[in-house]
Structure 1
Amino acid sequence: MAASRRPGRNHLFIPGPTTIPDRVIRAMSVQSEDHRSPSFPELAKPLFQDAKMVFGSTEGTVILFPSSGTGIWESALTNTLCRGDKVVVARFGQFSHLWTDMAMRLGLDVIVQDEEWGTGADPQKIEEALRADKDHAIKAVMIVHNETATGVTSDIGAVRKAMDAAGHPALLFVDGISSIGSLPFKMDEWKVDCAVAGSQKGFMLPAGLGLICVSQKALKVAEGGQGGGSNDRLGHVYFAWADQLNANKGGYFPYTPALPLLYGLREALAVMKEEGMENIYHRHAVLGEATRQAVAAWGLKPCAKEPKWNSDTVTAIVVPEGVDAAKIISHAYDRYNLSLGAGLSKVAGKVFRIGHLGDLNELSLLGAIAGAEMAMLDCGMKLTPGSGVAAASSYLRENPLHKA
């Protein structure tokens, strides 16, 4: 017999995709149109300029691809590097592992700096590697800003200071897929050369639109400046920046764009402007801390090894020895229609994750905390009923989401 209808909606608290604001959903409900029409640039052109706000940039160039964030990883590497180029990668979670794997498969010479899962990039080790590279063979440093597998945020400003201290010209590539639009991101100040983002997280859109903000330095490298012109340049066609930028000048794209997502992006940027980026950052900081207050009240710990690593977009919660986190996740979904993030790779079955990013407020988060708490109790975990909700709600009552 088929299952009966489940009342209410699914409560989506994975670290992306995130819940889409209703007004953004309405904005994407559009009929197909001619993307070569004379009026199309009225939609497209402002997006390239307005999106810079979210990256913390006035000097960068925004390029939009019909792609997930993984494709934008590839665009950053293939437009700027040559086969055999050395790159430094800090690896401390599933997504930094995947970006490392991509670099290797593309033919780059990858210097991997492995860090303990639950920690992040080590600026001192990066500085030491760059100081030792007297011939400047290292062409790029690759950092995942916010590692969703472990709930860890790395200090990109400190990485930039380390690179400057070493006096090294390497490019700085940053995966900001689960941070940009939610956590403070200062592309120009940190001198990030390629900042990678995806539509499905802080931008509050469906997956399928990849965004990259590129520095003038990286554009010159891509055009054949520093180290360019080699026959060993990594191949790129679909992800070619030059093709995009040539078409973007007139407000067009070199191939068919993801039209509803462009309308959605326009509305999402309007939402973000109305709230203000500083308010968005503060809201995420409050919601992140409220989640950690709940975790502490449950007698549990986050996967992040120290408070300095804590992410304000996702908390990975370590379950006690002998408890299968996957069962908690499954039960939360089946019984309470709550979607929690699963543990990945090294932490599979050891953690579950609460994503607290995008379009949410106090009551949204408290629903997720209550559901996670009930699921843990149902699965036999020993904790005081209501403890997490009480701790989080007490913190939220004392800490408004927006600064006065």
Structure 2
Amino acid sequence: MSFQNPVFIPGPTNMPEVIRKACDMPTIDHRSPSFAQMFRPAAAGVREVLGMSPTAGEVLILPATGTGGWEAAITNTLSPGDRVLAARHGMFSQRWIDLCRRHGLDVQVIEAPWGEGCPVQAMGEALAADREHRIRAVLATHNETATGVLSDIAGLRRAMDGAAHPALLMVDGVSSIGSVPFEMVSWGVDIAVAGSQKGFMLPAGLAILGLSPRAVKAMEGANLRRAYFDLRDMLNSYSGGGYPFTPPVGLINGLAVSIEMLKAEGLENVYARHHRIAEGVRRAIAAWGLRPCAARPALYSNTVTAVVAPEGFNGTDVVTLAASKYGVAFGVGLGEVAGKVFRIGHLGSLTDVMMLSGLATAEMCMADLGWPVAPGSGVAAAQEYYRSTALEEQRVAA
């Protein structure tokens, strides 16, 4: 693998040099005012990215990844034997289900095909049938990275409200937050989980959580075991601008710089850039005569696209050849779509010029492997789209 080439995986994402340098800093006393001066702006910026109220609820930044963030979410708000409702429609929704079961929770699972989004109607029906309100939490994966599917979280909240159900809504936004719109307050999300290595363009190592006032209240009666991830300890220390243990100072300094970059570009412009780059990828895929794994356009993710391999071909071969011959990273298919797809990540620090290099590499690999794809076809389709929308993007940025 060449360090000179950008990566086209759905995370960790390409790291801007200014963020890399921000993480590479001298040791400071993490109990000093200097640490608080970098931590507080970072936490305040996360509120804005999550679409939280400036004052209500809490932001927590943990030394972990998104999986650690999910563990913190459930262990701080639920108790052994509590029932949670979750849909399984991809590898990452499956992993959250497994995590809950390992913690002794009673998981009610609604199955959906891989390539579909969260089955909002079925979830609403399950909640309406739960007249005793035994379901304490609803788990949803906003962006299913394995299949390139973006689910309707606002619609899920409407279904919960339609059933008049009091369950907490917990959302995995690891591969969406910071790259596509996320509205914690208006969508009625109680816990949102993100990670540093995706839209925030940092190395892996931070789990970023937003908690609504309802979620904070739920912590009072929860008694699943936790120690390192006890958010009560975190909140008590936050009041003084610190941590109950040693924090990853360099990553938090990098997060503060990441927030500055996102705000300087403007969140609406960040979202528009992701849509534009993703649409160029989708046009390339269509020109190849292939299709995304996502079942229909309304589900298309603007952060990752899983490309379905033609009959008789293996998507993993594209990823293996790209790495060994061209020094470029794409994502393999996972779980039920292993071998059936290869994944193109298009999130974080990425431009259309960078994306064109990835599409050209994918074309070379497919041609080398004998796939029925005309070399240059996808690149040309993406070029035409990027050329026709470049001035529009510049006007948005201005």
Fold agreement, TM-score > 0.5: yes
**Alignment check: 8 A CA contact 2:322 2:362 kept:** yes
2:31 equivalent in structure 1: 36
Does residue 47 in structure 1 map to residue 37 in structure 2?
A: no
Return the offset for 1:223: 2.1
SS of match in other structure, 1:64: strand
**Alignment check: 8 A CA contact 2:64 2:205 kept:** yes
Residue type at the aligned position of 2:48: M
Deviations 1:162-205 (Å, cap 9, x if unpaired)? 00111010000000000000011000000100000000000000
1:238 equivalent in structure 2: 228
Paired residue total: 392
Residue type at the aligned position of 1:64: I
**Quick one: distance in 2 between partners of 1:140 and 1:49?**
26
1:119 equivalent in structure 2: 116
**Quick one: distance in 2 between partners of 1:387 and 1:154?**
30
Return the offset for 1:402: 5.1
**Quick one: distance in 2 between partners of 1:297 and 1:342?**
21
Shifted more, 322-331 versus 364-373: the winner is 322-331
Does residue 399 in structure 1 map to residue 394 in structure 2?
A: no
Does residue 143 in structure 1 map to residue 129 in structure 2?
A: no
Alignment of 1:167-178 (within 5 A): 167-178=164-175
Deviations 1:246-271 (Å, cap 9, x if unpaired)? 00111100100011101100100000
**Alignment check: 8 A CA contact 1:78 1:234 kept:** yes
Residue type at the aligned position of 2:13: T
**Quick one: distance in 2 between partners of 1:77 and 1:7?**
39
Residue type at the aligned position of 1:123: V
**Alignment check: 8 A CA contact 1:295 1:388 kept:** yes
Deviations 1:354-402 (Å, cap 9, x if unpaired)? 0000011110110100000111001111211100000011111112345
Deviations 1:278-306 (Å, cap 9, x if unpaired)? 01111111111110100000000100111
Residue type at the aligned position of 2:124: E
**Alignment check: 8 A CA contact 1:293 1:388 kept:** yes
2:203 equivalent in structure 1: 206
**Alignment check: 8 A CA contact 1:45 1:248 kept:** no
2:286 equivalent in structure 1: 296
2:8 equivalent in structure 1: 13
**Quick one: distance in 2 between partners of 1:47 and 1:281?**
20
Structure 1 residues 68, 381: CA separation in 2 closer, same or farther (over 3 Å shift)?
same
Q: 1:106 aligns with which of 89, 103, 107?
A: 103
Residue type at the aligned position of 1:373: E
**Quick one: distance in 1 between partners of 2:95 and 2:21?**
34
Shifted more, 325-334 versus 11-20: the winner is 325-334
**Alignment check: 8 A CA contact 1:279 1:402 kept:** no
Q: 1:385 aligns with which of 372, 375, 384?
A: 375
**Alignment check: 8 A CA contact 1:60 1:188 kept:** no
Return the offset for 1:74: 0.4
1:376 equivalent in structure 2: 366
**Quick one: distance in 2 between partners of 1:242 and 1:136?**
26
Alignment of 1:133-282 (within 5 A): 133-224=130-221, 228=222, 233-282=223-272
SS of match in other structure, 2:86: strand
**Quick one: distance in 1 between partners of 2:152 and 2:202?**
26
Residue type at the aligned position of 1:312: N
Return the offset for 1:8: 6.6
Return the offset for 1:40: 2.2
Does residue 330 in structure 1 map to residue 294 in structure 2?
A: no
Return the offset for 1:10: 3.0
**Alignment check: 8 A CA contact 1:340 1:352 kept:** yes
Alignment gaps of 5+ in structure 1? 1-5
**Quick one: distance in 1 between partners of 2:29 and 2:60?**
21
**Quick one: distance in 1 between partners of 2:299 and 2:35?**
44
Alignment gaps of 5+ in structure 2? none
Structure 1 residues 313, 221: CA separation in 2 closer, same or farther (over 3 Å shift)?
same
SS of match in other structure, 2:302: coil
Return the offset for 1:7: 7.0
Structure 1 residues 51, 7: CA separation in 2 closer, same or farther (over 3 Å shift)?
closer
Deviations 1:17-61 (Å, cap 9, x if unpaired)? 000111111111101111112432111222221211111112331
2:52 equivalent in structure 1: 57
**Alignment check: 8 A CA contact 2:170 2:191 kept:** yes
**Alignment check: 8 A CA contact 2:2 2:327 kept:** no
Q: How well do the aligned residues superpose, as a CA RMSD in angstroms?
A: 1.2
Does residue 365 in structure 1 map to residue 355 in structure 2?
A: yes
**Alignment check: 8 A CA contact 2:356 2:379 kept:** yes
